Copies of this chain bind each other. A is one copy, B any other.
Amino acid sequence: HPHYKAPRGNKLHAKSWQTEAALRMFLNNLDAEVAENPDELVVYGGIGQAARNRESLEKIIQVLLELDENHSLLVQSGKPVGVVRTHPQAPRVMIANSNLVPAWADWKHFEELRERGLMMYGQMTAGSWIYIGTQGILQGTYETFVSCGNKHFDGDLRHKLLVTGGLGGMGGAQPLAATLAGATFLGVDIDPTRIQKRIDTRYIDKMTYSYEEAIQWVMEAKEKGENLSVGLVGDIGDVLERLIQDGITPDVLTDQTSAHDPLNGYVPNGMSLEEALQLRKDNPELYKEKSIKSMARHVELMLKLQEKGAVTFDYGNNLREFARQGGCENAFNFPGFTPAYIRPLFCEGKGPFRWVALSGDPEDIYTTDQALKEAFPENDHLIKWLDEAREKVAFQGLPSRICWLGMGEREKAGLIFNDLVRTGKVKAPIIIGRDHLDCGSVASPNRETESMLDGSDAVSDWPLLNLMSNTAGGATWVSFHHGGGVGMGYSQHAGQVILADGTDRADECIRRVLYNDPAMGIFRHADAGYDKAKEVGDNFGMLI
């Protein structure tokens, strides 16, 4: 395949930085350093793609090179389908991926459409061109583990063993996040190439095919209070079963196998990866059946370990739902990570703020790191993270950074970045985006909106209002997806990416979009009755 790589430097190929930024981030999503499988245009999360096919990819590039500031490109499930009339303060690209009318919104119908070339799976940041490699999820995972440590272990994860499954695109962030948070880590993946990738990028310390060896390593490390991370090749269900047999109970237990997709993601118990790949093709129905049954077993084992005292939570892959479908009736007996650890942050408009140096120069990111540390001197947690990240996180593709910022903070950070570009302190514009997993951008009753206070888990008016607010505010590109994270039928979510190119136009757009975007989180959680959100909303004088 052609070797996808975003252009670097501050020379324009497109007509403006707005389209240049979209072009670079689109290609960056497919950079072999970033994407899980660029050959198939797959970025992460099972089959999350950046474009529908090679032809669409080329057409997108072509249109972006020609588009002016009074027009916008429309992308429908990874295919460019039209150009409409807009203006310089409007998004340059508007994307809708994988959306299906509810009564048809399942994997089966989606697969039919995909096979006929009519759709692709956008996941969250794959089809919306703001995936930045494993670092993207690293900070979120780190926040979650720290928050878990605060809640259950007095803020100290040393001498604690964290066990999980899945070390893929997102799950691969777990070992580093865990060790950053101080824990000893055991991760299980059926695919050795996935673990090797984490070794190569310094996200995980050691790898083995032997259960005995892995256990010896982690039990010794736990004993000593060492934050070692170990990747074990195998089926997560089998490993949990052995742990129970051996009387080993993890302190923290979760999972990030690609359970959201029982056909193209999760690998059923009792077969090798090769056999699984073959069965997928030969008998998809049988595969799915086996997959769902294995998930039921997997969750049964998690529930057993929970009973024995493991702090157990679902990590947003819809594992419990499919386990329930596979016959495990009390699958929802352990909580999802959002109500357990993330919702308090959402109530302050906090979410995964990320940015990328379009110059390609790591120094530009260090400059932004420094600027943020100066802007938020009282925020110890943030400063610790920025320091750790600089030291331990290897960049993938264009240099980027992520940290969780809340209401007020995002707007402030955005304006600072725009100023760095205006005054030439960084070498080219900076692009600011976020995951679709954010405080006011997603409806996903088994994940982000699980157990809302007022029972409004399934109400998806909110991500739509988020989409409209960011489109009207002037984000540089916007997106609306279905099925990210938890799979077809289970979520709807919106994304936005905004350019800091040092212009006054950018200042205005940033002031609007980076206010609106976290504001949606405040509106949504205040409306649902969360006191914290009402308090923050009152402080900002923003509730009507």
Does A85 belong to the interface (CB within 8 Å)? yes
Interface residues as binary, A97-136 with B (CB distance below 8 Å gives 1, 0 otherwise): 1111111111001001100101100000000000000000
Among residues of B, the one whose C-beta sits closest to the C-beta of A100 is B458
Sampled A-B contacts (13; CB under 8 Å): A80-B544, A81-B527, A81-B544, A82-B465, A96-B460, A98-B461, A100-B102, A102-B103, A116-B454, A467-B468, A468-B478, A471-B471, A472-B472
The answer, among B91, B119, B465, for a CB contact under 8 Å with A472, is B91
Minimum CB–CB distance from A481 to chain B (whole Å) comes to 9
The proximity string for A residues 72-93 relative to B, scoring 1 for CB distances below 8 Å and 0 otherwise, is 1010110111111111011100
Q: Contact check, A465 vs B74: say whether CB atoms are below 8 A apart.
A: yes
Q: Which residues from B are CB-within-8-Å of A516?
A: 84-85
A119 contacts B459, C-beta separation under 8 Å? yes
What's the tally of chain A residues with a CB closer than 8 Å to chain B? 78
Contact of A85 among B459, B515, B543 (CB under 8 A): B515
Whether A445 and B104, one on each chain, are in contact in the complex, defined by CB atoms closer than 8 angstroms, is: yes
* Inter-subunit contact A77/B511 (CB<8 Å): no
Having A84-B519, A101-B458, one finds 11 other A-B pairs with CB under 8 Å, namely A82-B523, A82-B542, A91-B468, A96-B465, A101-B490, A102-B488, A103-B458, A104-B458, A109-B458, A467-B468, A468-B478
A175 within 8 A of partner (CB)? no
| Neighbouring B residues of A515 by C-beta, 8 Å | 84-85
The distance from the CB of A87 to the nearest CB of chain B, in whole angstroms, is 6
Is there a chain B Cβ closer than 8 Å to A344's Cβ? no
Q: Report if A461-B97 is in contact (Cβ < 8 Å); known contacts: A82-B519, A469-B84.
A: yes
A512 at interface (Cβ–Cβ under 8 A)?
yes
Given A105-B102, A113-B459, A462-B76, answer yes or no on A87-B85 (Cβ-Cβ < 8 Å).
Answer: no
B512/A87 in contact, CB under 8 A: yes
Residues of A521-544 at the interface with B, using a CB-CB cut-off of 8 Å, are 523-524, 527, 542-544
| Residues of chain A having any CB pair with chain B under 8 Å | 59, 63, 72, 74, 76-77, 79-87, 89-91, 94, 96-106, 109, 112-113, 116, 118-119, 443-445, 454-462, 464-465, 467-469, 471-474, 478, 480, 482, 488-492, 508, 511-512, 515-516, 519-520, 523-524, 527, 542-544
A542 contacts across to B, CB distance below 8 A: 82-83
Chain B, Cβ-Cβ closest to A91: B472
- B113 lies within 8 A of A456 (CB): yes
Q: List the B side residues contacting A89 at CB < 8 Å.
A: 87, 89
Whole-angstrom CA separation of A76 from B461 in the bound complex: 6
Rank and list the top 9 A-B pairs by shortest CB-CB distance, nearest first: A102-B105, A104-B458, A96-B461, A102-B102, A90-B472, A96-B464, A94-B468, A82-B523, A85-B512
For A98, the chain B residues whose CB sits under 8 A away are 461
Contact of A74 among B83, B90, B469 (CB under 8 A): B469
Q: Give, as a whole number of angstroms, the nearest-CB distance from A222 to chain B.
A: 39
* Complex Cα–Cα for A512 and B527 (A): 34
Query: Once the chains bind, are B116 and A455 in contact (CB under 8 Å)?
Result: yes
CB contacts (< 8 Å) of A59 on chain B: these are 544
> Residues of B contacting A480 with CB < 8 Å?
464, 468
Inter-chain CA distance A512–B71, complex, in Å, is 9
> Are A85 and B458 neighbours in the complex by a CB distance under 8 Å?
no
Q: Which of B81, B103, B460, B465 contacts A523 (CB 8 A)?
A: B81
Q: Select from chain B the residue with minimum beta-carbon distance to A440.
A: B82
**CB proximity of A374 to chain B, nearest CB, Å:** 26
- CB atoms of A461 and B102 under 8 A apart: no
Assembly CA distance A84 to B467 (angstroms): 12
Given A63-B544, A116-B455, A465-B94, A492:B83 Cβ within 8 A: no
CA distance A511 to B71 in the complex (A): 12
Q: Which of A84, A109, A445 has the most CB of B within 10 A?
A: A84
**Contact partner, A99, options B444, B460, B472, Cβ 8 Å:** B460
Closest B-chain residue to A462, C-beta based?
B76
Chain B residues whose C-beta falls within 8 Å of the C-beta of A100 in the assembled complex: 102, 458-460
C-alpha gap A544/B66 in the complex (Å): 12
CB proximity of A498 to chain B, nearest CB, Å: 13
Query: Would B465 and A76 count as touching, CB distance under 8 A?
Result: yes
- Decide: A99 near B519, CB < 8 A? Known: A454-B116, A480-B464: no
Q: Is the CB of A492 within 8 A of B101?
A: yes
Does the CB pair A444–B101 fall under 8 Å? yes
* A478: B residues at CB distance < 8 A: 468
